[in-house]
Amino acid sequence: MSDKKELHLKFAKECFNDVWNLLDKKERTKNEDAQMVRMAHASRYHWGEIGTPLEFARGDWQISRVYAVLGFGVMAFKYAKTSLEHCENNEIGDFDLAFAYEALARASAVSGDIDKGRGYLVMTESAKDDIAKKDDRDYFLSELESVSELL
């Protein structure tokens, strides 16, 4: 792997993980919120340089989650939709597809479109059954609970 590719990989992973650290914080400052948005986009940029559609789907999903957590439903929906498109266009299933539907449900809820959110929640029902690993399915279901609370 070239030095440039190694750097893209390093920054893609670091930014992705740092976003999770901020998402997991109980309370964030406004500066941390802004940093979280920038890092999510930076991670996705670096994956865009060296990744595969799987990383693109996950990167767009993470951007969607960040925007949803911050209350920006339109932007959350935009990135949830591209996450789903990566999954559909590249036959990516399992928990990535389920999480794409989860992101659409969450973004719809944040936008105040409860009916649309409930529709996407229904789509998660069949997708969750296709999650191969029990640990992944259990994690997905725990995340799904937080969406259900919004709807």
The tens place of each residue's pLDDT in the chain, 151 residues long, gives: 789 999 999 999 999 999 999 999 999 999 999 999 999 999 999 999 999 999 999 999 999 999 999 999 999 999 999 999 999 999 999 999 999 999 999 999 999 999 999 999 999 888 988 999 999 999 999 988 888 888 8
User: What is the reported pLDDT for 150?
Assistant: 87
Q: What is the CA radius of gyration of the chain?
A: 15
What sections of the chain are H helices per DSSP? Answer: 3-24, 30-50, 53-69, 73-89, 94-111, 114-128, 134-150
Task: Compute the distance between CA of residue 128 and CA of residue 123 in angstroms, rounded to an integer.
Answer: 9
In the 8-state DSSP scheme, what is residue 26?
A: S
Task: Compute the distance between CA of residue 72 and CA of residue 113 in angstroms, rounded to an integer.
Answer: 13
pLDDT 10s digits, 111-121: 999 999 999 99
User: What is the reported pLDDT for 126?
Assistant: 84
Task: Compute the distance between CA of residue 59 and CA of residue 45 in angstroms, rounded to an integer.
Answer: 9
